[in-house]
Structure 1
Amino acid sequence: MSATTNTPPAQGERANPGNAMTIVDLGISFRRNRRGRPSLKDLFGGAKRRKKAGLFWPLRHVSFTVNYGEAIGVVGRNGQGKSTLLKLVAGVLLPDEGTVQVHGGVAPLIELTGGFAADLTVRENVRLIAGLHGMSRAEIDARFDDIIAFAEIGDFLDTPYKHLSSGMKVRLAFSVVSQLDEPILLVDEVLAVGDKAFRDKCYKRIDELLAEGRTLFFVSHNERDLRRFCTRGLYLNKGELLLDGHIGDVLDQYNADHNSGTTKR
């Protein structure tokens, strides 16, 4: 039986570090041509057809725990389940096998521009997205100016979101989500976009969040970023967790496998 739960930590739990999340025998399946239920032919075509109905498992039999305050980098080549893992932790996807227990809310810096309404203005979208992530009206009012200043978008408050450049959209989204007070931060390749000045602001903001004791779950192909922010690494390959250890050891093993063209199974 699979499950995803999201419960706040008990009072004092973060001061006395415990598990921020527990992942047990996690698995999720997709159909190669679509995500969803099997066709009638699959259902009534016999066991042989059902086994060959195009299912594949981007993640399976994955288990690990994360303590509060840890900074973890998820390592692997494209298509190895890294982003899928973050979406499962965020609750965007539900597992087909195993359990995901997240103790505390998450601030998801993944698919940053998702959820914004094209025809609403910048001002309206900030209030909409912040509210959807649980900010009260008073909190939004108190942080609104900081959000706009970080995004450097003050001249476009009444501009419809659809008319912003792609860079402006990313800056706005990062600015909103990075203001959330959730204890767990999920970051998926967002530092690969934008100009150098914006990336430097992102680095500084993430450093500030880590200094506050936030838990970081970080996906990136940039080894320098992984070594900068993370102390622990998870190495995924073909849906399996090959190595869980110090980020330096994990990156060394990944580089050795990648350079040799082989992967230990």
Structure 2
Amino acid sequence: MSGEFAGLAAVVTGGGSGIGLAVAELLAARGAAVACLDLDPSQVPAPLHAIACDVGDADSVNAAVRAAVDRLGGLDILVNNAGAGAQGTIEAQSDDEWHRVYDVNVVGIVRVTRAALPYLRVSASAAVVNTCSIAATAGLPGRALYSATKGAVQALTLAMAADHVGEGIRVNCVNPGTVDTPWVRRLVDAADDPTAEYAALRARQPIGRLVTPAEVAAAVAYLASPLAAATTGTVLAVDGGMHGLRLRPPTTTTPTAESRQQ
């Protein structure tokens, strides 16, 4: 295989669909051997390696990472993409649900990275990329629990980058905006007015559309690549401009008498 990932081995959690699968396929296309860890990896196509894994369970994580290393012959790149969604204000979920989503979105990254560190430490091209979210930096309505976990993921990314830079392990994260994934489509379909909901999601991103999984995958590939060896502790937004752009709303101009005559 040719490409900047030739000879490297990658693990992608949540690799069974959506962003995770797009990342795995792009890394493989650029030369990596890739294992997809997922609760349901049944849709993972060859030549990707499908491995069942529950990031909320330490035994499952340890077994899955060992299986991936055995199949791939090592581990150079870890993409922590698995996550759980949540909707509503702080009153919407019980304490148990807050603990569950934190356990998947935050502690899940800890479990998988902890299991991967012994292998990453012996790699000359070690990189970790975490999937975070625009919700870490922008106050989005109805996303209290989800936003809290993604704020933790961004802080965790920077702390990990500081802890492991001396070991030659780079740690970065991507902050996608609203991505056109099966999960988002399910949320839209469950809305009272799916057409209006989808239009609102498109409109809040300055580019006027949802982000694609392939666009997020390209950002992950950049951060994971040996070509980005000087990039660590970086938060890369892939959000259609949501985090930084403040566009003026379109204005309606009343035509003058002169313009009406033309």
TM over 0.5: no
Q: Which has the higher contact order (CA 8 A, sep 6+)?
A: 1
TM-score w.r.t. the length of structure 2 is 0.31
| TM-score normalised by length of structure 1 | 0.31
